[in-house]
Structures are given as structure tokens and as C-alpha cells.
Amino acid sequence: METPNLLYIKSLSGGETEFEEKLISIIKNEFPNEKSIYYEHLKAKNYIKAADDVHKLKHKISILGLENSYNLAVDYENNLRENRLNLQNDFENVLQIITEYLSTL
């Protein structure tokens, strides 16, 4: 399994630590809420809205350097739009890994 990292954020910032800190702060604030909304929509079996949530989350996955997980999120988003949940466990494992990583920042 991939490990989240800040390489993309650091390359994007051009060494400006204030920008890095702001972007990390935004991710740390938005991610838990977006994850929670995803679970609510999934529980309600509103798969279209859950797919929209995955769409939002996948950008954070990409920013945290998780290329394979980003591709998984793309596939899972498409599956949800077809009412298929076959990648749910894999996607939710990625969410857990990110949650744990963000708690260390």
C-alpha cells in the first residue's frame, strides 16, 4: 500500500512554507468532513452523491501523493455511479490511511 506524503505540496509551494502550511491546514480541516459526508451518503444508499463525495476526496488523495489510490478512487467513483460497490473496502482503507497520516501532521 502507498504511503501519503507531502512531495507534491512541497513542489507546488516552491519552498514557501507558509503556503505548505495553509494547504495542509485546508486538507486537515476539509478531509474529515468530506469523509463523514461520504459515509452518510453510502449508508443512505445514495450512490450518486457518494460518487460525488469520492470525486472531491480523490483530489486530496492525489495531493497527498497517492497515485495508485487516486486511480482506485476514479474507478470507485465510476462504479458508484453504476450502483456497484466492489471497490468500497479498498477505497475505505485509503481513507483510513489518510486519516492516520493527517493525525501526524
Q: Give the pLDDT confidence of 16-68 residue by residue, as tens digits.
A: 999 999 999 999 999 999 999 999 999 999 999 999 999 999 999 999 999 99
Mean pLDDT of 8-14: 95
pLDDT band at residue 80 under the 50/70/90 scheme:
very high
Query: Alpha helix locations (H) across the chain?
Result: 7-13, 17-43, 47-63, 67-81, 88-102
Torsion of CA 94, 66, 63, 80, to 10 degrees: -50
The pLDDT, as a whole number, for residue 68 is 98
pTM higher than 0.85: yes
pLDDT at 14 > cutoff 80: yes
Q: Domain extents for the chain?
A: 45-105
Contact 52, 80 (CB under 8 A): no
Is 1's pLDDT higher than 90?
no
